[in-house]
Amino acid sequence: MLNSSFHKITYGAIWLVSILFFTLTLNLGFYKSLDYAFLDSFVFITLFFLIGFSLWYSVKYADLFKKRTLDIMINHLSIAVVFIIVWLFVSYYISLFLISSVEYQIFIHQSLVFRSIIGILLYTNMIVFFYLRQNLDSFRKRINDEAHLNNLLRDSELQLLRNQINPHFLFNSLNSLNSLIYSDSDRASKMLVELSDFMRYSIHSSKHQFVSVLEEIRYAEKYINIEKNRFGDALNVQIEVCETCYDALMPAMLIQPLIENAVKHGLYGCVEGVFIRLNVSAKELHNADKQLIISVSNNYESGNTSPQGTKSGLSNIQSRLKNLYGSLNRINISSKNNIFEVIISIPFKNE
């Protein structure tokens, strides 16, 4: 019932304060003996709080938002009458058993009305305490449930975004493979093996939200090999990775769509081919944190317009980064001097 240290400490504190208050009231207003006043208070208040544990069930099964206010008031009024009668009766005989003084017997009879008023006040405070505790627990549970649902929704959205990559890439690869079968069977065979390895890795990595930079680079290299089978010497890729970054974690299947976008953006209408540069490095921030910087740049022919759909991969990446890291801008896109560049910065985390 009181399933947390905070609730137990709070309940115990209220009990101690009630005993001290009741003792001082009896000593100053009714009974001159401090020892008897304390013993009287200890018996009545302790018994009240011990029996008071049962009041939790009257709160637990009396939902404030599901029952009428009048029904709740009648319910608690009935319980209060029975509770206070039982409490006074039991406390009365225990106190008389412990304090066999004629003067005390007279005093306890004279103070029954006062004790009933104190009982009503304690009952009200205890009911309020239990309702506050129940609502606090419900609020915490609702927050946890909402956080869990948000995580499930975010994971579903991320998985959907990632699943959009493979069908699009596979469609293009199969079209190219179909053309190569008749024109260059050896290249077609090599491309088929690379495609098989690529899809196998894709399926494996889809089980993980994050992978190491080393794994992601290997994944990107498989894609590059497939594209080289399609475009031959028209495609040139340079990969540079800082040694300290190989073990860093990054979102899975992030680099491949960046390179795919660079291939489309650079090769479209380009006669001399495209040069793509992939760079992965670490950057120290002022607050001692580190950022993992992923940069993909490519050249393009001045005046050429990229084919329709080349921006879908970047939009997909932006959505994934927003879901993973919040609303901060993690991607920067620039185009200057016939160089198109995409730079992604994410928190640096090791495996």
Q: pLDDT for 271-293, tens place per residue?
A: 678 899 999 999 888 766 889 99
Q: Residue 270: inside a domain, yes or no? A: yes
Sheet holding 235-241, edge to edge: 235-241, 274-284, 290-299, 339-347, 331-336
Q: In total, how many domains does the chain have?
A: 2
Give the pLDDT of residue 141: 80
Give the pLDDT of residue 31: 62
What DSSP assignment string belongs to 70-103? HHHHHHHHHHHHHHHHHHHHHHHHHHHHH---HH
- Domain termination site, one of 147, 176, 194: 147
Q: pLDDT for 171-201, tens place per residue?
A: 777 877 887 787 778 878 888 888 887 777 7
pTM of the predicted model over 0.85: no
Summarize the confidence of residues 88-102 as an average pLDDT: 83
pLDDT at 262 over 70: yes
Q: Give 332: exposed, middle or buried? Use CB within 10 Å, 0-12, 13-18, 19+.
A: exposed
Q: Residue 180: inside a domain, yes or no? A: yes
In contact, 346 and 321? CB cutoff 8 Å:
yes
* 302-327 b/e (C-beta count within 10 Å ≥ 16 → b): eeeeeeeebeebbebbbebbbebeee
Same domain? For 233 and 332 the reply is yes
Same domain? For 74 and 104 the reply is yes
Q: Residue 61: inside a domain, yes or no? A: yes
Same domain? For 131 and 249 the reply is no
- The range of the structural domain enclosing residue 297 comes to 164-347
Pinpoint the alpha helices (H) of the chain. Answer: 5-29, 34-52, 55-60, 69-98, 102-110, 112-163, 165-183, 185-205, 213-231, 255-267, 312-325
Q: Residue 156: inside a domain, yes or no? A: no
Same domain? For 198 and 343 the reply is yes
Same domain? For 227 and 268 the reply is yes
Same domain? For 110 and 211 the reply is no
Q: Residue 157: inside a domain, yes or no? A: no
pLDDT at 83 over 50: yes
Please name every residue paired with 210 in a beta bridge, in sequence order, or none if there are none.
251
Tokens 């709740």 sit on residue: 72
For residue 134, report the phi and psi dihedrals to the nearest 5 degrees. -65, -45
Q: Residue 154: inside a domain, yes or no? A: no
Give the pLDDT of residue 240: 95
Same domain? For 205 and 99 the reply is no
Q: Residue 44: inside a domain, yes or no? A: yes
DSSP secondary structure code for residue 167 in this structure? H
